Amino acid sequence: MNTMRTMMLLAALTALFMAVGWLLGGGAGMVMALIFAAATNLWAWWNSDKAVLRWYRARPATEANAPGLVALTQALARRAGLPAPRVYLIDEDQPNAFATGRDPAHAAVAVTTGLLRTLSRDELAGVIAHELAHVKNRDTLTMTVAATVGGAIAMLAQFGMFFGGGRDRGPLGLIGALAAAILAPFAAMLIQMMISRTREYAADREGAMICGDPLALASALRRIAAEAGRRVNEPAERDPATAPLFIVNPLSGRGMDNLFATHPPVESRIAALEALAREMGRAPARPAGAAGGPGAVARARPSDADAPAVTRVPRAGRRRIMRGFRKGPWS
């Protein structure tokens, strides 16, 4: 299913590439766009994770700059049955996080310094588990490639607006160039949204099962959404195509980005997690914005047949995951 979804996404973005090429240069432009799209897809498949991390100036996380973060991520990865991903820090006040990489063996999880300052220990575990769920479901490949190709489409459209569009260039001349410049970036974002809005619910559920506490993840989403609306993430504003990678929409909505929602409503995601907590036998009694305490990670007892493979978090297992992380910046 994930492979088919990835191929459909790449096919749609490739078709959009060709449409932009046709508007800018007719048949010859369409052929050139097809060649460019093929090269971009191939490059994105192997290098898009490095490009995204470089765009956000991410640096490797260590015990010196993020005490306990790497060990926490490794412990949760073992629970999820995944190889330990690389862990990165982004010097950004907005609390947020994303995962990237073409497969679990080449995955990376990046968190902002604002996230470490904002969340409690259990909330941070919920966020990391959510990102590991994306890795497990191979959403990282889909969305990282989409972000790279979507950005390339926008760049091609803008290039054509300023350097093409003459009567001898495309069948619609200047009108075609303007149409490509205005509509192509929106079309690329819509394609990304069709994937992003459904994958977040699945990652929320899988992540809650990995960390063992849906309410901790729900509390983290509430905190991140409240802070993200007040703090501008400048790299994301400059390249909105990367916005669907994050756990919560990083865009401020100051401009045209407000017309499209790259993520499902946070309230709906929280409601789904609270429903999952009730399925596990836990009442969602955590007040709005409350921090998770040392005992916040509770036993997971899913009752429906659709639950992920990780269906139980014994008390000893919870202690192993959280032991040694009380001295982190999120404590």
- How far, in Å, CA of 197 to CA of 243, rounded? 12
CA distance 316 to 176: 63
**What is the amino acid identity at position 318?**
R
131 catalytic residue (yes or no): yes
H/E stretch holding 276 reads: helix 266-279
Instruction: List the binding residues for Zn(2+).
Output: 130, 134, 200
List, as residue ranges, the binding site: 130, 134, 200
Encoded amino acid at 171, one letter = P
Tokens at 6, concatenated: 């990835």
Given the residues 92, 131, 227, 274, select the one marked as catalytic: 131
Angstrom distance (rounded) from CA 309 to CA 297: 18
Give the sheet arrangement for strand 86-90, strand by strand. Answer: 59-60, 86-90, 108-112, 97-100
Contacts of 5 (CB under 8 A, 6+ apart): 142, 195
Q: What are the residue numbers of the active site?
A: 131
